[in-house]
């Protein structure tokens, strides 16, 4: 029981990070129907910006950790959002009217560009950050097994829940959310009704990138080791999560992230760790057989 609880905590923390990245995939797919393969690398850029900002703040004497973290969060979200906006403007918008595969190819290109840019500008070696948020709680004691919940895990889950709620409100209750949903349903009709489609799409990328930056910061704080390649593995997992949950669906992305995180963790916990990725991807295959559009995705209705 204690062991189960410990692994549940591990899985939820991992799943939250996957979920935050997965939202970026799902938002973009929902609105323009393309897979933004560069999103994992935007996440990676976000974590680098966070690290640089953090070291910068420490070097100018801001050592009060909560203040430093909030500033780092703002800087990382802002700068990564600018990256997101630029990528859309440079690589995707010119091709929006082109055939469907074109933006997919530029997305892969963009992913390579970002990876190589960071590799050259920041070096290929891993970058490390010593634990900033330390401490935690011991929840339960068995004979020789104490369930530990660290403060950073609490921060990850709380941040994720807060962001999800804020996002859900944004999409459900605000004018911006209304135009987002309108564009998702029918871009042409939305434009005819006076929605600025270009601006809405740009904002989608900005929001996705800002969320990726949050995930990047949490990742940096949780694991403390980043390199230019982290976007690839995290991106693949998060993309899988988005598809599993139903690509295009916001709660689906979060649910998918959680499921992937939990399957990986519990498979590792009770079976051999070697096959955890096989387990996660088998689950994806199974789900897609029974729910072709993902767990919470809406089936694509052929417009006649």
Partner 1 sequence: MRRLTWIIATLAALAGLTALTGCGDGSDDNTIPVATVGPLTGQYASNGQQMKQGATLVVEDLNAAGGVLGKQLKLEIGDDACDPKQAVAVAGQMVGEGVPLVAGHFCSGSSIPASQIYGDADTVMISPASTNPALTDDRAGPNIYRVCGRDDQQGKVAGEYIAKHFAGKNIAFVHDKTAYGKGLADETKKAMNAAGLQEKLYEAISAGEKDYSALVSKLKRNDIDLIFLGGYHTEAGLIARQMRGQGMDTVLMGGDALVNQEYWSITGKAGEGTLMTFSPDPRKNPAAKDVVARFEAKGIEPEGYVLYTYAAMQAWAQAAEKAGSTASSDVIKALNDTEFDTVIGKFRFNEKGDPSLPPYAVYRWHDGDYAEIEK
Residues that bind partner 1 (CB under 8 A): 3, 6-7, 10-11, 13-14, 52, 55-56, 59, 119-128, 130-131, 136, 138, 144-146, 148, 150, 219, 223-225, 227, 229-230, 233, 264-266, 268-269, 272-274, 276-277
SS3 39: helix
Q: Which is nearer to partner 1, 64 or 145 (CB)?
A: 145
CB of 107 to partner 1, least distance (A): 22
Q: Which is nearer to partner 1, 138 or 302 (CB)?
A: 138
Q: Which is nearer to partner 1, 72 or 201 (CB)?
A: 72
Largest CA distance in the chain: 68
Q: Which is nearer to partner 1, 52 or 283 (CB)?
A: 52
Q: Which is nearer to partner 1, 82 or 279 (CB)?
A: 279
CB of 7 to partner 1, least distance (A): 6
Phi, psi of 29 (to 5 degrees): -65, -45
CB of 23 to partner 1, least distance (A): 19
Neighbours of 27 (CB within 10 A): 26
DSSP 179-240: HHHHHHH-HHHHHHTT--HHHHHHHHHHHHHHHHHHHHHHHHHHH-EE-TTHHHHHHHHHHH
CB of 215 to partner 1, least distance (A): 13
CB of 47 to partner 1, least distance (A): 11
Q: Which is nearer to partner 1, 14 or 207 (CB)?
A: 14
User: Each residue of 138-175: b (16+ CB within 10 Å) or e?
Assistant: eeeeeeeeebebbebbebbbebbeebbeebeeebeeee
SS3 86: helix
Handedness of CA 208, 211, 215, 221 (dihedral sign): positive
């Amino acid at each position: 029981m204690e062991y189960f609880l410990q692994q549940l905590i591990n899985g939820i923390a991992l799943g939250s990070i996957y979920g935050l990245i997965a939202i970026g995939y799902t938002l973009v797919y929902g609105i323009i129907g393309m897979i933004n393969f560069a999103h994992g690398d935007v996440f990676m850029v976000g974590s680098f910006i966070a690290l640089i900002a953090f070291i910068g703040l420490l070097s100018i004497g801001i050592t009060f950790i909560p203040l430093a973290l909030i500033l780092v969060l703002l800087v990382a979200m802002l700068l990564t959002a600018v990256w997101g906006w630029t990528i859309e403007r440079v690589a995707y918008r010119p091709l929006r009217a082109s055939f469907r595969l074109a933006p997919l190819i530029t997305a892969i290109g963009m992913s390579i560009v970002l990876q190589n840019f960071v590799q050259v500008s920041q070096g290929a070696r891993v970058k490390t950050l010593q634990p900033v948020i330390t401490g935690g709680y011991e929840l339960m004691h068995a004979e020789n097994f104490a369930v530990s919940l660290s403060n950073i895990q609490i921060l990850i889950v709380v941040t994720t829940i807060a962001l999800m709620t804020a996002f859900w409100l944004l999409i459900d209750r605000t004018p911006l959310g209304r135009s987002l949903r309108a564009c998702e349903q029918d871009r042409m009709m939305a434009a005819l009704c006076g929605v600025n489609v270009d601006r809405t799409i740009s904002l989608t990328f900005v929001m996705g990138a800002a969320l990726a930056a949050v995930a990047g910061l949490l990742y940096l704080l949780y694991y403390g080791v980043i390199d230019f390649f982290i976007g690839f593995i995290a991106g693949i997992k998060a993309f899988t999560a988005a598809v599993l949950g139903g690509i295009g669906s916001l709660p689906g992305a979060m649910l998918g992230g959680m499921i992937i995180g939990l399957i990986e963790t519990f498979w590792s916990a009770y079976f051999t760790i070697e096959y955890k990725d096989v387990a996660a991807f088998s689950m994806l295959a199974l789900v897609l057989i029974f729910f072709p559009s993902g767990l919470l995705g809406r089936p694509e209705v052929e417009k006649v």
